[in-house]
Amino acid sequence: MALHFTLLDTRRHDRNGFSCGEPTLDTYLRERAGQHQRDGIATTHVLVDDADAARILGYCSLAAAQLNLHDLQPADRKRLPGYPVPAVRIGRLAVSRDVQGSGYGRLLLGHAVNCCVQLRHRLGVRVLLVDALHDQAAAFYRGYGFRATATTGHPRTLYLPLGK
């Protein structure tokens, strides 16, 4: 088993065979991910096994974003200019139902963080954002150091500082 990440290729990857148990995430992969990637809205990164490279084990979508400076926790605002903070947003992250519990969610999140850190060397990126779908998802992200935004309007909008 040799796992690797690659960008979604709608001709090669079996989007219809993917099911994570959350209909909105399944539908996005089947119906919107390819279009969003072609239109420059988001990129979709899929986790596959070389033994069956068409089968999607999990995916995450990433997009450019920004966060209002006052949405950061006070300690994270220090020495930052008074305008929106450059960010990358995890639009979606899902693992196929038949491999859930295998640590692939952690791998996908790690991949997203690595993409951000690499991007940070070429372009300003300060935080990784996510709007957790539900409380269980929010707990997953908090377990990896994501912090709640300082504003109370979106309790499941979380961010991970990407270093100084």
pLDDT > 70? residue 111: yes
pLDDT digits (tens, 9 = 90+) for 80-100: 888 899 999 999 999 999 999
pLDDT digits (tens, 9 = 90+) for 132-153: 999 999 999 999 999 999 876 6
Range of the domain at 110: 3-161
Is 28 known to be catalytic? no
| Options 28, 59, 104, 141, the catalytic residue | 141
Its pTM surpasses 0.95: no
Helices (H) and strands (E) in the chain, counts: 4, 7
The residues that bridge with 47 in the sheet, in sequence order, are 5, 58
CB atoms within 10 A of CB 132: 20
Here the CATH number for the domain that contains residue 7 is 3.40.630.30
Structure tokens at 90: 């995890």
Number of domains the chain contains: 1
* C-alpha angle 119-69-78 in degrees, rounded to nearest 5: 85
Q: Is 61 exposed, middle or buried (0-12, 13-18, 19+ CB in 10 A)?
A: buried
